[in-house]
Amino acid sequence: MKAKQNKITNAVNIHTGKALSRRAVLKGVGAAFALPMLNAMTPAFANAPAPVQRFQTVYIPNGMAMQYWSPTTTGSNYELTPILQPLANYKNKMRVISGLKANWNIAHAGAGGSFLTGVTQGGKTEVEILADVSIDQLLANELGKETQLSSLELSMDAPALAGACTVNLSCVYTHTLSWRGKTEPLPTEHNPRSLFERLFGDSGTTAKQAREIRLSQQSSILDAVLEKLTSLENQLGYEDRHLIDSYTESVRNIERRIQKAEEQIDMDLPEIDQPAGVPPVFEDHMEIMQDLQVLALQTDLTRVITFMMSKEQSPRPYPQIGVPDAHHPLSHHNNNPMLIERMSKINTYHTTLFSNYLDKLAAIPDGEGSLLDNMTILYGGGLSNSTIHSGDNLPILLVGGGAGWLKGGEHKHYDNTPTMADLHLSLLDKFGVKIDQMGGSSGPITL
């Protein structure tokens, strides 16, 4: 029975004599439609391919209400704290890490600027931009050899890479985590339409004129490849057809939501590369950005993503959870218990949103497991007690299965001597990337 099922699901293999390419793309007018992993992409009767490792960072700004974050015991019997409670379903896939220090501790600039780079000193003026290659880009240099996009740098906030934002230093340090080189910060994308076009569009630009031409020729990306998609489905087995149908409905649903968001804003867009089109409701914006990240990973368009849930010094209020205070001013709580408790609500809201993202990853099959099983996700921020801009005992999680290496269900405490750069050396090693030094690293730590 099992052999018969293999013949059906691998129909493309039997008809063509070879597997469908893992990087197969259906081309249409203004569209380049990537496909998810299908059974037909595995040679008939072959052993299952080795799992694909992916890396992601989810960054939380403005420090943490540490009393509500830090477990009181270490090891496997630790109890989830209030901020970690929304992640209860993933405790066995989560490792809490405490006792690591920031490499560059100068207010919010050092928090964001050193989080992935491990740099010990950045620029000293608003026009001096200096850091080091970030871990995501070191991984992108290797993992990106197998994907169309080496990495994605995403945020919930509009980018600002000029001017002074904190202690008279460049805004680049608070608005991005990713650095391709010592003087090459990578801007983040916060616009769902621009990200969608980057993943599935093929017009070469999202300027108003090119965008209008494509939208006048077709009602959606899917319509541009519908004939080829139908032809492909006719060659696939039942499981693959079901997967394609589910996947294309997800893509169409996201496109509808983006279009709905655009109807709620001024449609006379300026002729710029990244037009305005951000949903006015924070939760709607967050869900679309999360769904697009899942699609990018599911289709293997990229294996490296950085996502800033918000920027350092973000003034965003959260009235929807009963916290109308601006986030950044609230983070300077002067150790007032009432204000710390209020800030913990924001931190808990962030882990709730993160848990929703983990639900999406866990629901996507990938090889013998799920997308989450084959990911290493670094969650946390570059400040602990934000009222004093503390860079000690940073709030850090490692989440996922790491394609086999990452074991959760544990709180691991270090002695407040290792730094984030030391953690990065260890993570790079898990991906087979061997380097001796990164930023201010002194050596890998035991994971």
CA–CA dist 348, 64 (Å, integer): 10
CA–CA dist 244, 37 (Å, integer): 9
CA–CA dist 430, 426 (Å, integer): 7
Mean local confidence (pLDDT), 421-439: 96
Tell whether the model's pLDDT for residue 344 goes beyond 50.
yes
Size of the chain, expressed as the number of residues it contains = 447
Tell whether the model's pLDDT for residue 162 goes beyond 80.
no
CA–CA dist 106, 119 (Å, integer): 12
Kindly indicate the confidence band of residue 271, based on its pLDDT and cuts at 50, 70 and 90: very low
3-state DSSP assignment of residue 152: strand
Kindly indicate the confidence band of residue 238, based on its pLDDT and cuts at 50, 70 and 90: confident
Tell whether the model's pLDDT for residue 6 goes beyond 90.
no
Kindly indicate the confidence band of residue 30, based on its pLDDT and cuts at 50, 70 and 90: low
Tell whether the model's pLDDT for residue 81 goes beyond 70.
yes
Mean local confidence (pLDDT), 340-361: 98
Cross-strand partners of 169: 166
Tell whether the model's pLDDT for residue 17 goes beyond 60.
no
Tell whether the model's pLDDT for residue 334 goes beyond 80.
yes
User: By percentage, how much of the chain surpasses pLDDT 90?
Assistant: 64
Looking only at the bridges linking them, the beta strands covering 54-59 and 179-181 are unpaired
Tell whether the model's pLDDT for residue 239 goes beyond 90.
no
Of 32-36, 124-128, 178-182, 420-424, where does mean pLDDT reach its minimum?
Answer: 32-36
Tell me how far the alpha carbon of residue 137 is from its chain's centroid: 13
Mean local confidence (pLDDT), 73-93: 97
Q: Please list, in sequence order, all residues whose beta carbon lies within 8 angstroms of the beta carbon of residue 331, skipping any fewer than 6 positions away.
A: 62, 63, 343, 386, 387
Tell whether the model's pLDDT for residue 207 goes beyond 50.
no
Better pLDDT: 206 or 174: 174
Please name which of 410, 278, 431, 283 lies closest in space to residue 357, comparing C-alpha atoms: 283
**pLDDT the model gives residue 248:** 86
Handedness of CA 119, 314, 136, 182 (dihedral sign): negative
CA angle 240–243–246, rounded 5-degree value: 150
Of 206-215, 386-395, 413-422, where does mean pLDDT reach its minimum?
Answer: 206-215
First to last CA, the chain: 43
| R_g of the chain, CA atoms, integer Å | 22
**pLDDT the model gives residue 14:** 40
Tell whether the model's pLDDT for residue 285 goes beyond 70.
yes
Better pLDDT: 248 or 205: 248
**pLDDT the model gives residue 273:** 37
Where is 119: in which H helix or E strand? none
Tell whether the model's pLDDT for residue 23 goes beyond 80.
no
Kindly indicate the confidence band of residue 380, based on its pLDDT and cuts at 50, 70 and 90: very high
Tell whether the model's pLDDT for residue 202 goes beyond 70.
no
**pLDDT the model gives residue 213:** 54
**pLDDT the model gives residue 164:** 78
Is the separation of the CB atoms in 347 and 68 below 8 Å?
Answer: yes
Q: Please list, in sequence order, all residues whose beta carbon lies within 8 angstroms of the beta carbon of residue 347, skipping any fewer than 6 positions away.
A: 60, 64, 65, 68, 69, 83
Mean local confidence (pLDDT), 223-244: 82
CB-hemisphere CA count at 13 Å for 224? 24
3-state DSSP assignment of residue 386: helix
Of 54-58, 127-131, 223-227, 313-317, where does mean pLDDT reach its minimum?
Answer: 223-227
Tell whether the model's pLDDT for residue 408 goes beyond 90.
yes
Kindly indicate the confidence band of residue 111, based on its pLDDT and cuts at 50, 70 and 90: very high
CA–CA dist 127, 169 (Å, integer): 8
Question: Which pair of tokens denotes residue 152?
Answer: 């994605």
**pLDDT the model gives residue 416:** 84
**pLDDT the model gives residue 272:** 33
Question: Which pair of tokens denotes residue 323?
Answer: 């916290």
Cross-strand partners of 215: none
Of 102-111, 121-130, 191-200, 247-256, where does mean pLDDT reach its minimum?
Answer: 247-256
Which amino acid is residue 294, in one-letter code?
Answer: V
- Kindly state the DSSP code that residue 26 receives in the 8-state scheme: E
Which amino acid is residue 146, in one-letter code?
Answer: E
Mean local confidence (pLDDT), 102-114: 96
Better pLDDT: 378 or 227: 378
